[in-house]
Amino acid sequence: MHPTKLSRRHFLAFCAGTAPALLAPPAVWAATRARTRPAPTGASVEIALSAGESSAPILPGAATKVWRYQAELRNGRAGTLSSLGDASYLGPILRLHPGDRFRARISNHLPEATTVHWHGLHLPSDMDGQPRLPIEPGATFTAEFPIRDRPGIYWYHPHPHGANGGRTGYQVYHGLAGLLIIESPAEEALGLPAGAYDLPVVIQDRRFDDHNQVVYLGQGMSAMHERMMGFLGDRILVNGRPDYRVEVATRPYRLRLLNGSNSRIYKLAWSDGGPVTILGVQGGLLTRPLNRPYLTLAPAERADLWVDFGQHAVGDELRLVSQAFEANMMSGMMGGGGKGSSGGGMMGGGAVPQERRGGGGAGEQERAHRLGAAGRWSGLSGGLCAGRPRVSGMAG
């Protein structure tokens, strides 16, 4: 099988502004770790969640057929549900608090059975979207459970069985996925970037045909190989969009990353060689922030990053790139091995975020986010690292 190459396109961009912000001292930071299993308070959050067929304007030209989660808040706090934008096929972001009693009435409007799995949460097995409890087309299921996990980044997606290795990979690939973020007053007291300065970043790779429709798995032996070794796209999307760009202010930001790709691994680093500051991982905040030269993010993994765009001049560009790296023996067996590169498989490199600041006075220092502006932080792209791309991974 030939390696899957990424297109040479940027897909995420931000523009920065200046405002001082400090990370919390380690003692305060550690205090957020104290209660890992809070008791339910009786607070109720209820949503109606549906999975159905839809379309999205992902590429120029014809709209792409997708499967999409849509949600309505029936009871709970304002801000419980938020969107990644009208152009995104991804499900709404769901924000919960430790101690909430959460209820989701799930409706299946798909042509096949599905489930909803609450990835990373501790909850009763019969509420967790297990394949043994499918929601048939036209049916509904109510999931109800207390939120007992620490503040952190989680997500929800289908987990059904099916022919040829199951339908989880297919359904996620066609759009069924959404972020779930647990927040708490204790974490908010740390003074981390919040609101407009707390940005979700869902990274996925996709293949499209000549009619802008997503392609999942090849034909014949190619399809069998991809089921066993991992299906890889040749284009990177961020928050459901290609060439994604957002202006940012020259000040600190919090980035909530999810690798929502079926098989691709990313080795993320800043293009200027600056450290990647890791606030937390999928289990919540770390005892103290860590500075590392890069961050490796495998499928379904999440990371909580801090970046100060005020460290660069207005008008600069800063990219988060996915660097090439060496595959281990197992990766080699699962897709050709060798050296990962900009286009390559799970080891695929490329550019992730790039930030640029336009000139001007103080009025530009704290400006609203705009898409496609001159100042930007660009997302992942392929073709920025030399070397022959390799493929690896496992399709879900």
Q: What is the pLDDT of residue 328?
A: 60
> CB neighbours (10 Å) of residue 280?
26
Q: Is residue 279 part of a domain?
A: yes
Q: What is the pLDDT of residue 168?
A: 93
Domain boundary among 188, 216, 233: 188
Looking at the fold, whether 240 and 315 belong to one and the same domain comes out as yes
- 69, 178 Cβ separation under 8 angstroms: yes
Amino acid at 330: M
Q: Is residue 231 part of a domain?
A: yes
Q: Is residue 293 part of a domain?
A: yes
Q: What is the dihedral of CA 165, 166, 171, 177, to 10 degrees?
A: -100
DSSP for 151-183 reads: SEEEEEE-----TTT-SHHHHHHTT--EEEEE-
Looking at the fold, whether 213 and 76 belong to one and the same domain comes out as no
Q: What is the pLDDT of residue 165?
A: 64
* DSSP 3-state of 31: helix
Looking at the fold, whether 226 and 343 belong to one and the same domain comes out as yes
Q: Is residue 27 part of a domain?
A: no
Range of the domain at 259: 12-21+193-378
Amino acid at 86: D
Q: What is the pLDDT of residue 29?
A: 42
Domain boundary among 161, 188, 215: 188
Q: Is residue 391 part of a domain?
A: no
Looking at the fold, whether 132 and 269 belong to one and the same domain comes out as no
Looking at the fold, whether 254 and 146 belong to one and the same domain comes out as no
- CA angle 88/391/295 to nearest 5° reads 65
Looking at the fold, whether 176 and 220 belong to one and the same domain comes out as no
Number of structural domains found in the chain: 2
Looking at the fold, whether 123 and 245 belong to one and the same domain comes out as no
Those residues with Cβ within 8 angstroms of residue 294's Cβ, 6 or more apart along the chain or in another chain: 267, 268, 269, 276, 323
Q: Is residue 163 part of a domain?
A: yes
Q: What is the pLDDT of residue 362?
A: 31
Give residue 121's Cα distance to chain centre: 17
Q: Provide the CATH number for the domain around residue 359.
A: 2.60.40.420
Looking at the fold, whether 171 and 246 belong to one and the same domain comes out as no
Looking at the fold, whether 206 and 227 belong to one and the same domain comes out as yes
Q: What is the pLDDT of residue 4?
A: 52
- Could you tell me which residues are beta bridge partners of residue 391? 336
- 386, 24 Cβ separation under 8 angstroms: no
Looking at the fold, whether 177 and 211 belong to one and the same domain comes out as no
What is the Cα–Cα distance from 252 to 241, expressed in whole angstroms? Answer: 24
Q: Is residue 323 part of a domain?
A: yes
The DSSP bridge pattern shows strands 101-109 and 44-56 to be parallel
Q: Is residue 201 part of a domain?
A: yes
For the chain, residues with pLDDT lower than 70 are 1-43, 164-165, 327-396
Q: Tens digit of pLDDT for each residue in 206-254?
A: 999 999 999 998 777 777 777 777 888 999 999 999 988 878 889 999 9
Looking at the fold, whether 147 and 238 belong to one and the same domain comes out as no
- 186, 32 Cβ separation under 8 angstroms: yes
Looking at the fold, whether 300 and 164 belong to one and the same domain comes out as no
Domain boundary among 168, 188, 208: 188
